[in-house]
Structure 1
Amino acid sequence: MQRLALLVLGLVCFPVFALTNVDLYQTEIVLEQGVDNSDAKARVSGMEEIIIRVSGDVEATSNPVIQKALKQNSQYLSQISHGQREGQPTLKMGFSPPHIRSLLSQAQVPIWPATRANVLVWLVEEEQYERNITWEHSDSRLLSQMRDEAVKRGLPLTVPVGDFDDITGVAASDLWGGFARPVGEASQRYPVDAVLVVRSDGNALRWTLYDQKPKTIGITRQAPLSGSNSGEKAVLKMINQISDYYAKKSGVVVASESSETVKVRFTTLKNAVDFFSLEKSLKKLSSVASLDILKIQRDQVTFNVHLLASQAQFEQELGRMDKVIRLENKSLNTQTIGSVPLTTTDSDESTWDNRAVDLIPAEQVLTYEWEGIPIAAETEDTQEAESPLVLEESVIEY
């Protein structure tokens, strides 16, 4: 491990590729004027917002366990201060991530991981028979509402900047007419995971969500999601529907207590950056409590993963991670000679002449290939600074 740390310290720079990580545990609530115990009510409202944001479930605050916890919200607060927003007094709050996650586990409410899909929003507003695209810095009440509601739900939104490339890349008529190919082509310049086209006509909204990379929109046969909403709460309903979709897709119900472990091996790690990036990604999974490093050998690392959820849920989360490909599983045979444990795989050929060997039943090892950072995306400085993970053909056992 020390040698791996030295390899990382030696890196001058390297590109960072990651999904959008949402700040789930901070909120700011406007205080009600002329109301008794306005701070206390704001703390409850703030905790409710955090519960919904972390769980992805708007009904989570109705859970009996969470209802009890809301009355003891001070136990979950990690910081609190007063502020102002648009001339109104507010209460700024930060909640403790471990305590909130533990509460959701006890209530058996899903957790929507903080790493979430970034959605590009093409908004077309019709006013006086004219249709115009709303850009990032446009003075649009509708866009402001969308952003506010998305922050409450923890849904990352990106709005086109409206520069020359955007203006010439797509027309309002293409967006209004629902032509997929122009939408995909115009969206490719943005590093997003999905594209949302919203058409506004007064208080009525019609929307189409392409839950795919922009380069595949209009190319593949994947059908988009669509909906329509009207009235004063049209924006709220739309953001809730989209957030519910992603929360259901990615949420994990975490067990309150679990000592279950699983061994996972990753191959083709090229360097120390790959190793630490992989380790960090695994620790972020909602189903993972902690990691133990069992072995580092050449370009492979084997972890003992302590689970908060079932192995099936862990494998589902792992399957949604970028850069990992599932390989054929192997068995890990722990062989004991006297009091000295030796670890081999079922593909190793070992002979034990004239020795008493006690065999412990084979354990299954989940095996994945780590794709890492594409070579084409690496900078010259990165390529020169990176060092391979091979540790002089040695094995580190923990």
Structure 2
Amino acid sequence: MRYLALLLAGLVSLPAAALTKVNLYQTEVVLDQQNDESDDQARIQGMEQVIVRATGDKSSLDNDVVKKALQHNSRYLTQISSNDDNGQETMTLGFSEPHIRSLLTQAQLPFWPAYRSNVLVWLVEDKNYDRTIAWEHSDSEPLKTLVQDAKARGLPLTVPVGDFDDITGIETSDLWGDFTGPIAQASSRYPTDAVLVIRVQDDAINWTLYDQSGQQMMDDAKEPITGQASGEQPIDQVVNDVSQYFAKKNAVLISSQSSESVVADFSAIKNADEFFTLEKSLKSLSSVAALDIVRIQGDDVQYRVHLLATPENFEQEVLRTKLVDKVDTQTVSSGETVPDFGYVIGSGINAPQGTDTDNTAVVANNAQATPDATNASNNTEITSSSETEQGATADDELAKVPSTLYFKWKE
């Protein structure tokens, strides 16, 4: 499992998949040692940072539901630790992903998924008409502020390394003049999703965002987004504007019932460890809003997956975990039953403790529910209680599901 986890983590940095997974739910806050209530303030501040990072919008803190939740931040905390950063006391805070996601749902706020566009940043400073490019290890204050602010907002950045290819591949005049050709050529070597050019002169900034990779710019450059910032914290304004752009583009408004769902069937699940590994992996996918167990029978597990993206995106994310292989629908045996939106406990594995079958299922026996589920045999079909109470049928539920995807656990 550790090996699989390492493989999954490594996928983030592969050139073929530039999207970067952001840690949305952990943050670090500097403590005010002069204030007796600094710990309380730090917890509120940390939760505010997480909410802004998860939504991509500072105005989310003005939401009435969020304001109330901030006063009860302990309900959302999962980790607190104190640290010393060069003599400055800080507090690292971790927050519960399910609880924060539930809060956003209750507040009807959009969620900006953790897999986000990686932005290549070309930053040029003009000091008395002496223009320089800020490379990855440059001692540039605007660049340091940019990287720090972007990290706090969950905006993944890539800064050019400044090697021989970079130095000889682009001129400051190309960046200052916003010449698309040279910028695209110099950017094409970096596997990023967008290119941001920032021109700094005193306390004023002009910026240009190309929502394309360098290679895409070379093939077919589209109209960029431009902006300006000035005042005491112009870099913060730039990060805020760019973050809001990507958040509005990619965020999803999570409702209590996702607008799109798909049935996903997983076979060859041999034991509880594999079941929980699969379920944990599915819940972590950015395309998944929620999971409902449809059926467990033998070594087969079926879920109804409420999606935050398309079924195709969900399928790609599942395969990217390297835990399962896709099973072509033509190879599925003709005798296999279709999803019935009940639970079937087979002889191969039992319904793991802690799943939804524990409290929300009743046993169907000869089309009539019996009050005692313990009398069920290994192959007894179990139908969800909500279905029994409302009289829903399998055909009713199947009409809501666009398709079934089939996967097989890797040996």
Task: Tell me what 2:212 maps to.
Answer: 212
Distance 1:368 1:220, change over 3 A: farther
Task: Tell me what 1:363 maps to.
Answer: 399
Cα shift at 1:253: 1.3
Task: Tell me what 1:376 maps to.
Answer: none
Task: Tell me what 1:113 maps to.
Answer: 113
Aligned 1:90-109 pairs, distance under 5 A: 90-109=90-109
Aligned 1:287-302 pairs, distance under 5 A: 287-290=288-291
Query: For residue 262 of structure 1, what is the amino acid of its counterpart?
Result: S
Instruction: Tell me: higher relative CO, structure 1 or 2? Use CA pairs within 8 A at least 6 residues apart.
Output: 1
Say which SS state the counterpart of residue 184 (structure 2) adopts.
helix
Aligned-partner Cα distance in 1 for 2:282–2:409: 21
Q: Greater shift after overlay, 116-125 or 214-223?
A: 214-223
Cα shift at 1:115: 0.3
The alignment's TM-score, normalised by the length of structure 2, stands at 0.67
Cα shift at 1:169: 1.1
Cα shift at 1:258: 3.0
Aligned-partner Cα distance in 2 for 1:136–1:37: 38
Which stretches of structure 1, 4 residues or more, deviate above 6 A after TM superposition? Answer: 12-15, 319-322, 388-391
Cα shift at 1:45: 0.7
Unaligned runs of 5+ in 1: 267-275, 296-300, 308-313, 325-331, 333-339, 345-357, 371-387, 392-398
Distance 1:101 1:364, change over 3 A: closer
Say which SS state the counterpart of residue 178 (structure 1) adopts.
coil
Aligned 1:177-188 pairs, distance under 5 A: 177-188=177-188
Cα shift at 1:390: 12
Say which SS state the counterpart of residue 217 (structure 1) adopts.
helix
Task: Tell me what 2:174 maps to.
Answer: 174
CA deviation vs aligned residue, 1:253-305 (integer Å, no higher than 9, x gap): 112x3387733589xxxxxxxxx99x95785135531266889xxxxx99753
Say which SS state the counterpart of residue 59 (structure 1) adopts.
helix
Aligned 1:213-252 pairs, distance under 5 A: 213-252=213-252
Query: For residue 82 of structure 2, what is the amino acid of its counterpart?
Result: H
CA deviation vs aligned residue, 1:378-398 (integer Å, no higher than 9, x gap): xxxxxxxxxx9799xxxxxxx
Distance 1:127 1:343, change over 3 A: same
Contact residue 283 and residue 290 of structure 1 kept, 8 A: no
Say which SS state the counterpart of residue 160 (structure 1) adopts.
coil
Cα shift at 1:306: 3.3
CA deviation vs aligned residue, 1:133-160 (integer Å, no higher than 9, x gap): 1000001110111111111110000100
Task: Tell me what 2:49 maps to.
Answer: 49
Say which SS state the counterpart of residue 84 (structure 1) adopts.
strand
Contact residue 53 and residue 152 of structure 1 kept, 8 A: yes
CA deviation vs aligned residue, 1:64-113 (integer Å, no higher than 9, x gap): 11111111111111111111234321111111111111111111111110
Aligned 1:341-380 pairs, distance under 5 A: 342-343=337-338, 360=395, 363=399, 366=402
Aligned 1:134-149 pairs, distance under 5 A: 134-149=134-149
Aligned-partner Cα distance in 1 for 2:29–2:10: 37
Contact residue 288 and residue 314 of structure 2 kept, 8 A: no
Distance 1:218 1:302, change over 3 A: farther
Aligned-partner Cα distance in 2 for 1:245–1:205: 17
Aligned-partner Cα distance in 2 for 1:14–1:101: 22
Contact residue 181 and residue 219 of structure 1 kept, 8 A: no
Query: For residue 399 of structure 2, what is the amino acid of its counterpart?
Result: E
1:263 aligns with 2:262: yes
Cα shift at 1:365: 5.4
Task: Tell me what 2:286 maps to.
Answer: 285
Distance 1:38 1:359, change over 3 A: closer
Task: Tell me what 2:21 maps to.
Answer: 21
Say which SS state the counterpart of residue 305 (structure 2) adopts.
strand
Say which SS state the counterpart of residue 120 (structure 1) adopts.
strand
Say which SS state the counterpart of residue 120 (structure 2) adopts.
strand
Cα shift at 1:368: 10
Cα shift at 1:62: 1.2
Contact residue 252 and residue 287 of structure 1 kept, 8 A: no
Aligned-partner Cα distance in 2 for 1:137–1:110: 35
Contact residue 122 and residue 160 of structure 2 kept, 8 A: yes
Distance 1:368 1:143, change over 3 A: farther
Aligned-partner Cα distance in 2 for 1:224–1:286: 28
Aligned 1:264-343 pairs, distance under 5 A: 284-285=285-286, 287-290=288-291, 304-307=303-306, 314=307, 316-318=309-311, 342-343=337-338
Contact residue 111 and residue 251 of structure 2 kept, 8 A: yes
The alignment's TM-score, normalised by the length of structure 1, stands at 0.69
Unaligned runs of 5+ in 2: 266-276, 318-328, 330-334, 340-392
